[in-house]
Amino acid sequence: MTRSDKELYENQILRQYEKEMVAKHKKKLGFSHFTKEMRRMSETRYDELEKMILEKTIRELQTAMNSGQFTSVELVTFYLKRIEQYNPLLNAIIELNPDALKLAEDVDRDRKKDKGKTLLSGIPILLKDNIGTGDKMHNTAGAKALEGSRLKKDAPIVKKIKEYGGIILGKTNMSEWAFQMSSNGVNGYSALGGQAKNPYGLFDVGGSSSGSAVGAAMNLASVTIGSETCGSIIYPA
């Protein structure tokens, strides 16, 4: 690491922690659509699921669901409880899909009928908030200027995920505008998401796919997706 690189790195850490900007327009995550299922899941069941879900591959999760060890509804609920617990500290998630549990119920119904089984069936996935979805969620790139923005159709990758039964659980925080509007931004900071934090300690969270990286590290979903231009996935990963 050159002296210049070291100074840039130390400056990022300083701005992310000691001189963290206050996000006056930060969105509050809404759990009202999920309260019933989240309360229904006991601590004992959560602990059982933790052993079956954390750090597992998609294939391992599918095997478990196909053998009846847990349902997609339980899988989604498990991640929602983790998000509720850890996101206030990490600011990894910017919005949740209000239809996530309904979609999981549909997959579980099809699974019982031995219909529609694919590798992604019932798998909860988090998307970086610059990847468009034509549903009830917003598409903001973390920017206040796009706070109410919604799209009429899904991005190609989202369309494919839905075709194969994947469940978009929510949107992840990011370096606002993916650094396209500034050359001196703070990694992982956005007006609507606040400052994403590195779960391993007082280290640079990286950017611009900051929330997706944190979500993967903390098992906040089975899959997290970012976007890459010039290190936006590579660095935070």
Q: Which residues are catalytic?
A: 128, 208, 232
DSSP element (H, E) containing 158: helix 156-163
Pairing label, strands 194-195, 93-96:
unpaired
Tokens coding 83: 């998000």
Question: In one letter, which amino acid is 178?
Answer: A
Give first-to-last CA distance, the chain, whole Å: 18
Q: DSSP state, 144?
A: G
Q: Give φ, ψ of 85 to 5 degrees.
A: -75, -45
The answer to whether the beta carbons of residues 128 and 207 sit under 8 Å apart is no
Q: How far apart are CA 221 and CA 24, in angstroms?
A: 27
Closest of 202, 195, 229, 197 to residue 215, by C-alpha = 197
Print burial letters for 175-202: b (CB count within 10 Å at least 16), e (below 16): bbbbbeeeeebbbbbbbbbbbbbbbeee
- Per-position DSSP letters for 9-76, written without gaps between them: HHHHHHHHTTTPPP-TTPPPPP-TTTHHHHHHS-HHHHHHHHHHHTT--HHHHHHHHHTTS--HHHHH
